Amino acid sequence: MNRRDDRLTFERSVPGRRGLGVPAPGVPEQEPLPGELRRAAPPGLPELSQAEVVRYYVGLGRLNYSIETGMYPLGSCTMKYNPKANDEVAGLSGFAGAHPLQPDELSQGVLEALWELQEALKALTGMAEATLCPAAGAQGELTGMLMVRAWHRGRGEDERRRKVLVPDSAHGTNPATAAMCGYQVVAVPTDPAGNMDMDGLRAALGDDVAGLMLTLPNTLGLWEQHILEIADAVHGAGALLYGDGANFNAIAGHVRPGDLGFDAMHVNVHKTFSTPHGGGGPGAGPVCCAAALAPFLPDPHIERRDGRLVRVRPERSIGRVGPGPGSVGVLLRAAAYLRTLGLDGIREMSAAAVLNANYLRVRLAATYDQPYDRPCMHEAVFSARALRRQGVRALDVAKRLIDYGFHPPTMYFPLIVEEALMIEPTESETKESLDAFAKAMHAIADEAATEPELLHDAPHDAPVGRLDEALAARRPVLRWTPEQSVVPAG
Amino acid sequence: MQFPAELRYSREHEWVRVEDGAAVVGITDFAQDQLGDVVFVSLPAVGSKVAALEKMGEIESVKSVSELYSPVSGTVVEINQAAVDSPETINRDAYGEGWLLRVAMDGGLPDGLLSADEYRAVVGAE
C-alpha cells in the first residue's frame, strides 16, 4: 500500500489555485455592504484544483468500512445490507419532488405509499394504529412514552404514577426517554437464566408505576420466557407495557407484540427494514399502538376518509413531534423493502437472522464464554472474561478483528455482562462469511494465549493504530488551527 | 487486586477510611479495574449533604458511565480536585491519591459496610 497522504485540505493549499473559474457577473455591481458588516480579511479557505479536491475526498472515502465492504456484526444495531432498489423507489420523481405542504388532494400518491406502510407495520406488530411522524428510533420512544403519559393523564392518574420500570439490561435510550418524560426510572434485575426477574418486577410494580419499557427479545439476545406473565403483572398494576422495537428483526413475521400484551412500540426501520443507518440522519421511528392510545397519536396522522387519504390531528393528540408526516425518503425505503419481501419474505428474513446468530453461538462456544447457555435469538452475547488471565480484554479482541477485515462487535453492552462481546450477523451474511468470522475469532483467542501483545497493540493494518480513547475524552482537540499542523508540506 | 484490611467497603464498590473523625471516600481497586480508563468524575459540591446508599455523583470511563453512591451520611467538607482534573489518578492509585471526597459524618459509620474479606468475597476475587 502506498504511503497515505494525511495532509488536510488547508495543508495542501497553494495560494491562487482554483477548482472552478467563476464568470464575471453580467449585471452592474451592487452597493457594497456597509463597512461594519464586511470582513476585515478574506476567509481562510484552502485553495486547490478540482482534481486535488476529488482525490482528497475519494482518499477519505476509501478509509470507510461499511456493510458494503464487509461483515458488520455490531450487536443490537442490525447492520443488514440495504437493497439498492429501495433507493431507486425513494428517488422516483413523484416522491422526491413532492412538497410536505402540498395539499392532500395533490399528494394522494405519496400518502398512499405511506398509508400502506402504516398498514404493514400495524399488521406485523398486531396493533390498532401507527404513526410515521417520529424522525428516529429514540424520538419514537419519546413519542410512545408521551402517549403513555397522556393516557394516564386522561384517567386522572398522572399525578400518582411517577415511575417507569426498565430492565437492568436495557438500552440507554429507555431510561433516558423515561427521564425526558419526567418519570423516575427504576431498574428491574435480570434472573440467572437471562429473563426479567419476576420477583423483582412484582416488588417494583405498584399504583405509582406508569409503565414498563421492554425490548423483545431482550438485549441479551434472549427470548423473554415469562413475557405473558410480565404483561399480566404490568396491566394488573394499572400500568402499560411499552416495547422497544430494537430487536424486532428476530421475530418480525412470527410473533406480533400486540398479541403478547404490548400497548405501544416503536419500530427501528433502519434496523429491521433496511433503511440507512447513522450518517447524521434523517431517520425514522414509527410508533404502533393499541386502540386505547390511538387518540393521543401525534399530528399529522394519515387516515383514509371517503376513499381519500388525509392528514388529520387526532382528537387528543400529544401534538407535533416534527414538521411533517415523517422522514418520507426513509419511510419509502422501508415501504419498498416490505413490498419486495412480502410477509413470507419477512418471515424468512427473521428466521435466517436467528439461524445465523445461533450458528455463530455454537461455533464460538468452545472458545468464548456464554453467560446464558441457551439458544439465542438474532444476536449472541459472549464474555471475554476467560481471556483476562492472559491480560486480554474484550476491547483487545474487538480491535484485533479489524486486522482480520471485520467490523468489531458491540463491546461492554449489556452492562450486566462482564467483558461483553455482542455479535449480530443479521440475515445478510452467507455461511462462508460466518465461517470466516468464526475462524478469525478462534485465531484471535489463540493469539491471546501465545502473543497477547499482538492484541494489545491492535489494530496494525488500519489507517490509524490503537487510539488513546482516555486522552481523547479527557483532552479533546476539537478545532484545527494552522499552528497545529504536524505534517510537513510537500 | 488490592483490598486493604484497614478500609471498610460498600456493595456499590466504594471504600471508606475514618480519619480525624471524617470519612475519606473513594472507589475500590476492583471498581477502577472493571471501569477501565476513567475519563470524567462528577462529585457533589463542598457543603452539600450526602446520604448513605444514595447517589452522590457519576464516574465515566471509556466503557460506560456509572453512578457513585455515598457509603456514609453527612456533609461534604472537601473534594479531591486533583482526581477531578486528572481522573487517571483514580486508575493509578484508587486507595491513595485517587481518593474522591471527605465527609463530616452525621453520627458514625452506617451499619452494613463490609470488611476487606467480606468485600473480596462479594466481588469473587481470588
User: Which of B1, B62, B85 to probe by mutation at the A interface, max A CB count within 10 Å?
Assistant: B62
**Residue A340: helix, strand or coil by DSSP?**
helix
**Residue A461: helix, strand or coil by DSSP?**
coil
Q: Is there a contact between A474 and B87 if contact means CB atoms under 8 Å apart?
A: yes
Listed residues A341, A373, A394: the one ending a domain = A341
**A301 and A425 co-located in one domain:** no
Burial A124-155 (b: 16+ CB within 10 A, else e): bbbbebbbbbbbbbbbbbbbbbbbbbbbbeee
Surface-to-core class of residue A202, CB atoms within 10 Å of its CB (0-12 exposed, 13-18 middle, 19+ buried):
middle
Q: How much is the average pLDDT of A205-218?
A: 98
Query: Distance between CA atoms of A105 and A108, rounded to whole angstroms?
Result: 6
Please report, rounded to a whole number, the percentage of residues in chain A having pLDDT higher than 70: 98
Confidence of residue A1 (pLDDT cuts 50, 70, 90): very low
pLDDT of residue A28: 83
Q: Is there a contact between B39 and A474 if contact means CB atoms under 8 Å apart?
A: yes
pLDDT of residue A485: 66
Among A23-37, A476-490, B61-75, the range scoring the smallest mean pLDDT is A476-490
**A259 and A331 co-located in one domain:** yes
Which one-letter amino acid corresponds to residue A54?
A: V
Cβ count within 10 A of residue A74: 20
In a domain, A18, yes or no: no
Residue B65 has pLDDT above 90, yes or no: no
pLDDT of residue A2: 54
Smallest CA–CA separation between A406 and chain B, in Å? 21
State the DSSP H helix or E strand holding residue A167, giving kind and residue range, or none if neither: strand A163-167
Query: Distance between CA atoms of B65 and B105, rounded to whole angstroms?
Result: 27
Q: Is there a contact between A473 and B40 if contact means CB atoms under 8 Å apart?
A: yes
Are A142 and A389 contacting, i.e. CB atoms less than 8 angstroms apart? Answer: no
**A291 and A421 co-located in one domain:** no
User: Which of B30, B37, B84 to probe by mutation at the A interface, max A CB count within 10 Å?
Assistant: B37
Q: Is there a contact between B88 and A470 if contact means CB atoms under 8 Å apart?
A: yes
Q: How much is the average pLDDT of A268-285?
A: 89
Q: How much is the average pLDDT of A274-298?
A: 92
**DSSP assignment, residue A249?**
G
Mean of pLDDT over chain A = 94
pLDDT of residue A487: 55
In a domain, A9, yes or no: no
Q: Is there a contact between B40 and A395 if contact means CB atoms under 8 Å apart?
A: no
**A294 and A409 co-located in one domain:** no
- What is the CATH classification number for the domain harbouring A249? 3.40.640.10
State the DSSP H helix or E strand holding residue A174, giving kind and residue range, or none if neither: helix A173-180
Q: Is there a contact between B36 and A415 if contact means CB atoms under 8 Å apart?
A: no
Residues B89-117 pLDDT 10s:
999 999 999 999 999 999 889 999 999 99
Q: Which residue has the cell 410508533?
A: A287
pLDDT of residue B77: 97
Residues A140-189 pLDDT 10s:
999 999 999 999 999 999 999 999 999 999 999 999 999 999 999 999 99
Query: Distance between CA atoms of A7 and A53, rounded to whole angstroms?
Result: 12
Confidence of residue A481 (pLDDT cuts 50, 70, 90): confident
pLDDT of residue A4: 78
Query: Distance between CA atoms of B10 and B51, rounded to whole angstroms?
Result: 13
Are A417 and A219 contacting, i.e. CB atoms less than 8 angstroms apart? Answer: no
**DSSP alpha helix (H) spans, A13-83:** 50-61
A residues 373-412 near B, CB within 8 Å? 393, 395, 411-412
Q: Is there a contact between A474 and B62 if contact means CB atoms under 8 Å apart?
A: no
C-alpha distance from residue A212 to each of A45, A129, A177, A215, A303 (Å): 53, 20, 12, 10, 29
Q: What is the CA radius of gyration of chain A?
A: 26
DSSP symbols for A280-304: T------EEE-GGGGGGPPSSEEEE
Residue A415: its chain B contacts at CB < 8 A? Answer: 64
Those residues whose C-beta lies under 8 Å from the C-beta of residue B7, and which sit 6 or more positions away, are B15, B16, B17, B95, B116
Smallest CA–CA separation between B63 and chain A, in Å? 6
Q: Is there a contact between B39 and A411 if contact means CB atoms under 8 Å apart?
A: no
pLDDT of residue A477: 86
In a domain, A129, yes or no: yes
Domain borders along chain B are: 11-108
ipTM of the complex: 0.74
Cβ count within 10 A of residue A430: 11
Its pTM stands at: 0.89
pLDDT of residue A486: 60
In a domain, A267, yes or no: yes
User: Which of A219, A399, A410, A474 to probe by mutation at the B interface, max B CB count within 10 Å?
Assistant: A474
Angle between helices A328-364 and A108-125 (to 10 degrees): 30
Residue A448 has pLDDT above 90, yes or no: yes
**A214 and A89 co-located in one domain:** yes
- Torsion angle defined by CA atoms of residues A297, A301, A302 and A307, in that order, rounded to the nearest 10 degrees: 90
Cβ count within 10 A of residue A485: 13
**A216 and A312 co-located in one domain:** yes
CATH topology of domain B11-108: OB fold (Dihydrolipoamide Acetyltransferase, E2P) (2.40.50)
**A333 and A400 co-located in one domain:** no
Residue A29 has pLDDT above 80, yes or no: no
Query: Distance between CA atoms of A91 and A333, rounded to whole angstroms?
Result: 10
Among A133-137, A482-486, B103-107, the range scoring the smallest mean pLDDT is A482-486
User: Which of B1, B35, B63 to probe by mutation at the A interface, max A CB count within 10 Å?
Assistant: B63
Q: Is there a contact between B40 and A474 if contact means CB atoms under 8 Å apart?
A: yes
Q: Is there a contact between B40 and A470 if contact means CB atoms under 8 Å apart?
A: no
Residue A395: its chain B contacts at CB < 8 A? Answer: 36, 63
Residues A52-92 pLDDT 10s:
999 999 999 999 999 999 999 999 999 999 999 999 999 99
Domain carrying residue A125: 84-341
Collect all residues from B whose CB is shorter than 8 A from any CB in A: 34, 36-40, 60, 62-64, 87-88
The answer to whether the Cα torsion of A405, A406, A412, A418 is positive or negative is negative
CA nearest A386: which of A371, A376, A400, A374?
Answer: A371
| Chain B residue at shortest CA distance from A410 | B63
Q: Is there a contact between B88 and A474 if contact means CB atoms under 8 Å apart?
A: yes
**Residue A398: helix, strand or coil by DSSP?**
helix
Q: Which of A415, A418, A470 sits opposite B62 (nearest CB)?
A: A470
**A228 and A313 co-located in one domain:** yes
Partners of A195 in the β-ladder? none
**A332 and A384 co-located in one domain:** no
Number of domains in chain A: 2
State the DSSP H helix or E strand holding residue B17, giving kind and residue range, or none if neither: strand B14-19
Residues A364-391 pLDDT 10s:
999 999 999 999 999 999 999 999 889 9
- What is the CATH classification number for the domain harbouring A413? 3.90.1150.10
Q: Is there a contact between A474 and B64 if contact means CB atoms under 8 Å apart?
A: no
Those residues whose C-beta lies under 8 Å from the C-beta of residue A365, and which sit 6 or more positions away, are none
